[in-house]
Amino acid sequence: MTIQKYCWSIACVCLLATMEYILSLQQDLKRMYPDRAKAMRITIIEAKEILGTFDYSLREYAAQKMSKRGVRLHRGVVQKVEAGKLTLQDGEEFTFGLCIWSTGVGPTPFISSLPFAKTGAGRLVVDSQ
């Protein structure tokens, strides 16, 4: 394995902590391999909105910061991951040398079956306590 083959493209399906890790990894790789930095690509694939639990203005701010750093943001739902290739439900494919996978948690069937008020994302509505 050579660093040349495996650091060209990083595909990420991620949450906030993973986004922070990705940006840190990007800085480290640029510092360690400056001659290859321009060829590196980082793509974050998100099914809905990045940082979906945060206020709209914070999501937009994060998206702008990531774009300025060369991180590509893409909406899509991953259907299949194979060695070096990720396929979305719409058929679009991404090749990668490194895939970092971090998924969120959605409501379980048990929570969905409860007769209580739920948010648009299917989570239980709670009060401030």
Q: Residue 95 domain-assigned?
A: yes
* Model pLDDT for residues 29-56, shown as the tens digit of each residue: 888 888 887 788 888 888 777 777 778 8
- Whole-number mean pLDDT of the chain? 79
Task: Give the mean pLDDT of 85-102.
Answer: 87
Which is more confident, 96 or 54?
A: 96
- Give the range among 12-16, 61-65, 83-87 with minimum mean pLDDT: 12-16
Q: Residue 64 domain-assigned?
A: yes
Q: For residues 27 and 69, give the distance between their C-alpha atoms in angstroms, rounded to a whole number.
A: 10
Q: Residue 59 domain-assigned?
A: yes
Which is more confident, 1 or 76?
A: 76
Query: Which domain CATH number covers 8?
Result: 3.50.50.60
46: three-class secondary structure by DSSP: strand
Q: Residue 109 domain-assigned?
A: no
Predicted confidence (pLDDT) at residue 71 exceeds the cutoff of 90: no
Phi, psi (rounded to 5 degrees) for 50 = -65, 140
Q: For residues 84 and 21, give the distance between their C-alpha atoms in angstroms, rounded to a whole number.
A: 21
**Residue 14 belongs to domain spanning:** 3-104
Whole-structure pTM value? 0.67
